[in-house]
Structure 1
């Protein structure tokens, strides 16, 4: 399992403007540089921790179950969608990647698999056992999204279907992280996030919109699965998908999380290689997106010291012979289950949903907070044990 992974690298920012972050988000370069040193220390600890447990019986058995599950998932998806064409199996040679910021994945190729190719060669690959837990969640995180596997909606969700499997492993034990509640959110095909109505991101239906957002709970193998679309691009950031992981949070009967419960154990972003992104964006409605494209190499969260082994790109296969059939993608993420980033400067709640719809979080400033200059904290105006309290100006 873990021998297929790469370990945590230093998340160094590309400090040059203008491609700095999400629209409206600002970060102090000096603050980001300090974070680089902290991540360096975390990398060394994670490497030692994973190395101590990767050969255990439970770790090997988990890897076997993961291979079988991914194969079974693809077979079921193909059957459900009536796909008979031979699937294209895409894999990447991680050893060939010299530097993260240079990864445009033009090196990615289709290996010549035959029907006799062992499943272990196709579905055992994991891109990263570690994703940096302090990568900003951006100013577009919304509290109050509901538990649902399919985050697509009738409107504003057209695009290339992606069936995403995210597996969480505790770096201290190499055991799956069970019962975690995982938030996912991303831009739609034309580069717009739902739930936000601010300069740089005016969503149709404004604060009330919820497309391409949802929550899933990890199972006994630490797996959460989502049905979504390939994210669209927008100016200033490489194409990416957001993930935020809650541990010990209380799930309410209305399928939302109770405010103030649990910890934030992980904040991360998945990136998508340039070859795949280019292929997707030749299709409709991605080809109607007029915003400028930012490559992975140009993104502010590009990574130096890639030999420390940070690779936030999911593995994926075409379910059929073209993108119309959709993609199955998977990634394994190592986290320290004892960490809590609730008070981290990169945890920012921009808005929330309650029984009355969507609202702006009046305590969150998109321009960044004081002190280190990072994104604002995740605090909201709220009544203890109850829903957040909206400011009058924030009503939808």
Structure 2
């Protein structure tokens, strides 16, 4: 049911390390960052209250039932595609509403092992929602590429643990799902490298891996096949998400125009990150890892009311490399316009990628913009 699992993050636990070395454009003055975060948390908490009113909405309950059935079918399909036997075990991850400040010292991993049979309580597993309002960042990147390809599979041969990601979007003002949105996601690979940009250490303008756009269906749902992201210096593991409405799909399977209503980053439970990082190729990444607690940008994506951590199941408890199925329901305000925060690093066109000359800071030519 909508709002059945709201998670808790205490902003006081966020440790923002001034001068942390991350990608260019991801450095903010600590006072500016905290001020920005407070303003955004206030706005997001107001949106959270509006979303809470949807809990008893008949359409929301019907949507939740459809979501449970859809997730079960997706889970069964993914296991079949990976050759996982029907009687093998699976891990089910359930999270308590534990304060973020306690997460480092208290395990909130409620993983249990079940025999997956016809008697498995599917609603208990796939009906669980982390229904969140991902607090808008003050950055849309810094490696946002405008005009990405509309596609569901964004792997492009990148090595890593397969991740099937389901995102659903609800308009908090109407309690209704939102079809025909364009949902843009992008992430680094297992070694912490982004495609599509020419900044030092990144993969370059001719690459497009782990980037893509999908249009929401009648239930406001998009699904992506990707890999679990890696890490780079100064940042916790994350995936970027932006929501566009009114964009025009082009014949070359990209898009143009539209209004950005939502920008954020999606984070993951630390126990899951640790398990992934023990496998290849993630384990060969020698860059020091940054925990969720030490990542300053988690402060933009969380308040005491909710967090941006999705629900998930491992497709095979005995082998995490077989893949992860993950889902998150996002409440957002379609009346809000975040175009002013759009920071375009590059454009993807018919002839490939081109740099945005307004952001030469990516190549170290000019200082980074105030808001990254």
Q: 257, 272, 283: which one pairs with 1:287?
A: 283
- Superposed, 1:137-286 pairs within 5 Å as 137-154=140-157, 157-199=158-200, 201-203=201-203, 206-258=204-256, 261-286=257-282
C-alpha spacing 1:277/1:15, structure 2 compared with 1 (3 Å): closer
Q: 337, 344, 352: which one pairs with 1:340?
A: 337
C-alpha spacing 1:284/1:40, structure 2 compared with 1 (3 Å): closer
Name the SS of the counterpart of 2:6 in structure 1: coil
Q: Displacement of 1:202 after TM fit?
A: 2.6
Query: d(CA) in 2 for partners of 1:47 and 1:7?
Result: 12
Match of 1:2 in 2: 2
The answer to whether the 8 Å contact 2:183/2:243 transfers is yes
Match of 2:357 in 1: 362
The answer to whether the 8 Å contact 1:161/1:327 transfers is yes
Q: Displacement of 1:16 after TM fit?
A: 2.2
Match of 1:314 in 2: 310
Query: d(CA) in 2 for partners of 1:246 and 1:47?
Result: 20
Match of 2:65 in 1: 64
Query: d(CA) in 1 for partners of 2:245 and 2:255?
Result: 11
C-alpha spacing 1:269/1:305, structure 2 compared with 1 (3 Å): closer
Q: 340, 349, 361: which one pairs with 2:344?
A: 349
Structure 2 length-normalised TM: 0.90
Query: d(CA) in 2 for partners of 1:142 and 1:105?
Result: 38
Match of 1:77 in 2: 78
Query: d(CA) in 1 for partners of 2:296 and 2:151?
Result: 31
Name the SS of the counterpart of 2:244 in structure 1: strand
Q: Displacement of 1:196 after TM fit?
A: 1.6
Q: Displacement of 1:308 after TM fit?
A: 2.4
The answer to whether the 8 Å contact 2:187/2:240 transfers is yes
Name the SS of the counterpart of 1:350 in structure 2: strand
Q: Displacement of 1:353 after TM fit?
A: 1.4
Structure 1 length-normalised TM: 0.85
For structure 2, the residue ranges without an aligned partner over 5 or more in a row are none
Query: d(CA) in 2 for partners of 1:69 and 1:194?
Result: 31
Query: d(CA) in 1 for partners of 2:89 and 2:214?
Result: 27
Tell which deviates more after alignment, 178-187 or 281-290: 281-290
Tell which deviates more after alignment, 47-56 or 142-151: 47-56
C-alpha spacing 1:106/1:9, structure 2 compared with 1 (3 Å): closer
Tell me the matched-pair count: 362
C-alpha spacing 1:8/1:275, structure 2 compared with 1 (3 Å): closer
Q: What per-residue deviation string (whole Å, max 9, x for no partner) do you get for residues 117-174 of structure 1?
A: 32111012222321012352221111121111100113xx111000000111111122
Match of 1:121 in 2: 124
Q: What per-residue deviation string (whole Å, max 9, x for no partner) do you get for residues 310-355 of structure 1?
A: 21111111112312211111111110011110112xx211111112
C-alpha spacing 1:135/1:92, structure 2 compared with 1 (3 Å): farther
For structure 1, the residue ranges without an aligned partner over 5 or more in a row are 376-396
Asked whether 1:297 is paired with 2:298, we answer no
